[in-house]
Structure 1
C-alpha cells in the first residue's frame, strides 16, 4: 500500500506541478522536430516540435481526470442500484440484478466504440462546447461510467443483503425508521469500505479503457493530449523514435500499477476478515 501511495503521490505532483515549469504543450517548433532530450526539452520533442515532457504531464492531467470522474460516477450509480436491490429484495432485487446482468453481458469495447463515435455536434450541441476540454473529459467519463458500475452494484448488493438482517437494522425498522433513513444511516456507512476499495482499483482499469479509446481515435482527440492519443501519434515512428511511445506507455503502466497496489493495500487494511485470516 505504501509503495502504491508513494508512487501515486509522485505522479500527481509531477502532473500538477510539471506543466508550470515546462513549455506549453501546444507550442510548435517545426525546426526542432524529433529533437533528442536536452535541457530545454527533457524528454525531447514530437513530430510537430512540441515538448514531449509537457504533453506527457498535460496528458496525465486529462487521463487522470477522466479516470477519477468516471470512477466516482460508476461508484455512485453502482452503489445506488446495489443498495436498493440488496435492501428491498424481492421484485426490486430481481429487476435491478437482471438489468445489471444485461449490462455485464454487453460486449464492452464494441459498445464503447459505438458510443464514443457519436458526434455531439450532430445532436444539436454547440460545436465550440463539443470541442472544449471539459466537455471531452465529461463525455468520456459518462460513456465509460454508464457501463462500468456493475461490479460495484453486485458488491454493494451482497453487503446490503448481509447487513439488513443485523440486529441494529431490525431495531431501526421496529422503531419506525423509514427505508431511506435506514439505508443512509445504518447500511451505507458499513459498506463504504468495499466501495472505496473497488473504486480505487477500478481507476487503473478505466485509465486502460480511456487509453484504448483514445488510441483508436474515439476518446480524447488532438490537439488535447492524453496518453492514449500520444501512443496513436507514435505509431508511425515507433521504430525510428521509440521514446514517443515508451514514455506514455510507461506512464500508463506506472499509474495502473500505483492504483492497483493502493487498492490491494486498502483492501487488506479495511477488510477485517482478510486481516484476521492472514494473521
Structure 2
C-alpha cells in the first residue's frame, strides 16, 4: 500500500500561514506565558484615563527637558525682561488684555518685571519635576533599605526602626521643613556676596522632603517583608545556606518592586505639591531659579489687575499634579491583581 502526499499549492510569492504551536499530547494551541510587567502594561493600555494621564505626564517632561530649545525659539529667557511690554503709567502692568498675551509673549509677561511668563513657567516646570523626582527617588531608596532591615531582621532592629518610623510619621512635615530649610541653608553655605546659593537651596529642599517622606515607603516595605520571609522560597534559600544579603537582594527585593513602584508613583505629585507650597510661603526655591510656587505667590498680589498671571501657572500646576496622581492610581490598579476593573 502506498501513501500519497498531497501538496498545498500557494500563489507565487506568498508563504503558507504557519500553524500555531500545539501541545504534543493534547493538540491544543500552546499558551504563551506573560511576565507581570507585560500583564500590567496590558491593563494600563485598556485604561483610557491612565493613558491620558501618561501622555500628559510625558508631555510635561518633554517640555521641561526641551526648555532651552523652546525659550530659544521664542527669543526670551526666564530672566530676560521686556521693558516695552509693560506700561509704566499703569504701575508696570502689561500692555493689552489677558496679561499681555501676544505672538511675542505666548503666555503674557509678569507685571512689574516684564519677564516672559512662558519662559518662567517652562523653567519652573524643570525645577518642580527635579525636586519632585529627586526627593521621591531618595526617599524610596532609604525607605526600601529601612523596610527590608526592619522586616527581615526582627527583634530589636525592627523595634528601633519601627519607633523611628512612628516618630517621622507623627511630625507635621510642612511646618518642620519650613523651620529647618533656612537653618540648614545658613549652616551649610553663604556665598561671598552675603546671599544664598540657589542651587544649594534645591539640594536642601530635596533632602528635607526626602527625610520626612521615607517612613511611608519603609512602613509599606516592612509589612510586605514580614509576609514574604515566611514563604517557602525563603526557607529553601536558608536550607541551601544562602547568606542574608542573597536572601534580601535576590529573594525578597524582586518581589517588592510592585509596591515600591506604586509608592514612588504616588510620592512624586505629593513632593511637587510640597515644593510648590514651600516656595509659595517663601522658604522654597529662591531667585533667579523660576518656580511655580513662587509665581503663584507673586501673582496673588496682582490678581485683581492681572488675573491671567495667577490663572495660567495655577491651572498648569493643577493639571500636572492631577495627571501624576491619576497615573499613580492607574499603576497601582495595574500591578494589583486583586483590583476590580470594569
Superposition TM-score, scaled by structure 2 size: 0.77
Alpha-carbon distance in structure 1 between the residues aligned to 2:191 and 2:128: 22
Show CA shifts across 1:94-125 (max 9, x none).
110110000111111210110122262x4252
In structure 2, relative to structure 1, the CA distance for the partners of 1:118 and 1:202 (3 Å cut) is: same
Please name the residue that 1:168 is paired with: 233
Show CA shifts across 1:12-36 (max 9, x none).
1222223342311100123323241
Please name the residue that 2:55 is paired with: 6
Q: From 81, 102, 110, give the equivalent of 1:28.
A: 81
Instruction: Trace 1:171-250 onto structure 2 (pairs within 5 A).
Output: 171-250=236-315
Q: From 19, 25, 40, give the equivalent of 2:104.
A: 40
Show CA shifts across 1:138-190 (max 9, x none).
22100110111111111101111111011111111111111111110111111
Alpha-carbon distance in structure 2 between the residues aligned to 1:45 and 1:88: 58
Please name the residue that 1:137 is paired with: 202
- 1:151 maps to 2:203: no
Alpha-carbon distance in structure 1 between the residues aligned to 2:224 and 2:164: 19
In structure 2, relative to structure 1, the CA distance for the partners of 1:189 and 1:266 (3 Å cut) is: same
4+ long deviations beyond 4 Å: 128-133
Show CA shifts across 1:209-234 (max 9, x none).
00010001100012211100011111
Would the aligned equivalents of 1:26 and 1:50 in 2 still touch at CA under 8 Å?
Answer: yes
| SS of aligned partner of 1:79 | helix
Alpha-carbon distance in structure 1 between the residues aligned to 2:105 and 2:192: 32
Alpha-carbon distance in structure 1 between the residues aligned to 2:108 and 2:265: 33
Alpha-carbon distance in structure 2 between the residues aligned to 1:252 and 1:119: 28
RMSD: 1.7
Q: Which has the higher contact order (CA 8 A, sep 6+)?
A: 1
| SS of aligned partner of 1:272 | coil
Alpha-carbon distance in structure 1 between the residues aligned to 2:192 and 2:253: 41
Please name the residue that 2:321 is paired with: 256
| SS of aligned partner of 2:338 | helix
| SS of aligned partner of 1:153 | helix
Alpha-carbon distance in structure 2 between the residues aligned to 1:111 and 1:81: 22
- 1:115 maps to 2:180: yes
Q: Note the residue ranges of structure 1 that are not aligned, 5 or more in a row.
A: none
Alpha-carbon distance in structure 2 between the residues aligned to 1:124 and 1:68: 23
| Greater displacement, 33-42 / 130-139 | 130-139
- 1:19 maps to 2:52: no
| SS of aligned partner of 1:127 | coil
Alpha-carbon distance in structure 2 between the residues aligned to 1:146 and 1:65: 16
Aligned length: 276
Pairwise CA distance, 1:260: 0.8
Superposition TM-score, scaled by structure 1 size: 0.94
Q: Which has a greater percent of helix? A: 1
Q: From 88, 92, 101, give the equivalent of 2:153.
A: 88
Would the aligned equivalents of 2:135 and 2:271 in 1 still touch at CA under 8 Å?
Answer: yes
| Greater displacement, 166-175 / 58-67 | 166-175
